[in-house]
Amino acid sequence: MIVIKNDREMDQMRQACKITAAARALAGEMVRPGVSTRQIDKAVHDYIVAQGAKPSFLNYNGFPASTCISVNSVVIHGIPGGYVLKEGDIVSVDVGAYYKGFHGDCAATFACGAISTEAQKLIDVTEQSFFEGIRFATPGHRVSDISHAIQKHVESNGFSVVRSFVGHGVGAKLHEEPEVPNYGEPGRGPRLLPGMTLAIEPMVNTGTHEVRILKDGWTVMTCDGKLSAHYENTVRITDGEPEILTVTEGL
């Protein structure tokens, strides 16, 4: 069942999403050579708790950290630990915060110092594919219209979209209906209605779209060991243009 949020619920969700976006920004500021992924995770955890919120990911289905930090060929669900970032890494940080009954969910990929031209293009294309997708996040369109626009932009730039993992509805639960793939033909899936809230999250690889899960049961890597990037925002469907909820303005 797709949950439609009323105005009161949306006001509460905006607060959760602003905390989430600020946590993402904090993580991004910490991405530099010599910093461990565990340090970033701790800083994000402490920030979210200081805002009176809870990290959405911590203990979610057993996940052991407050953030997913995925470096280079890790696509998503990287577990923070002792890895120390080095010059040239690209670092995807996915974060969620639960506040007053609602979740926010967002992610971005950050450059660690100077990175390759290809890596920078990957980051830029991944982010732009999100914005290409939300051009269709308006009433009357269908979910797959977003999906198709993302895939078209990614593949026209020579990259591939991950198919094994998709975006999703988000609200009182971290994962709600509908699923929001980053690929597919247009004109399919549920119609978009005002009050729907979606976590739209392109996951883009420089090589094959195929991925594998490591023995820890969480870490998702590209099968060919090539780079991957991730970009995500929580988006509200309105009567007109979509509203990106995971923004830092006003904090």
Domain residue ranges of the chain, discontinuous segments joined by +: 7-244
Mean pLDDT of all residues in 5-17:
96
Regarding pTM above 0.75, the answer is: yes
Residue 250 pLDDT class (50, 70, 90 cuts)? very low
Mean pLDDT of all residues in 193-221:
98
For the segment 57-105, what is each residue's pLDDT rounded down to a tens digit? 999 999 999 999 999 999 999 999 999 999 999 999 999 999 999 999 9
Mean pLDDT of all residues in 152-166:
98
Higher-pLDDT residue of 212, 249: 212
Mean pLDDT of all residues in 163-180:
98
Mean predicted lDDT score pLDDT of the chain: 97
CATH classification (class only), 7-244: alpha beta
pLDDT at 249: 58
Residue 185 pLDDT class (50, 70, 90 cuts)? very high
3-state secondary structure the chain: CECCCCHHHHHHHHHHHHHHHHHHHHHHHHCCCCCEHHHHHHHHHHHHHHCCCEECCCCHHHCCCCEEEEECCEEECCCCCCCECCCCCEEEEEEEEEECCEEEEEEEEEECCCCCHHHHHHHHHHHHHHHHHHCCCCCCCEHHHHHHHHHHHHHHCCCEECCCCCEEECCCCCCEEEEECCCCCCCCCCECCCCCEEEECCEEECCCCCEEECCCCCCEEECCCCCEEECEEEEECCCCCCEECCCCCCC
Q: Which amino acid is at 53?
A: A
For the segment 12-39, what is each residue's pLDDT rounded down to a tens digit? 999 999 999 999 999 999 999 999 999 9
pLDDT at 27: 98
pLDDT at residue 248 greater than cutoff 90: no
pLDDT at residue 251 greater than cutoff 50: no
Mean pLDDT of all residues in 185-212:
98
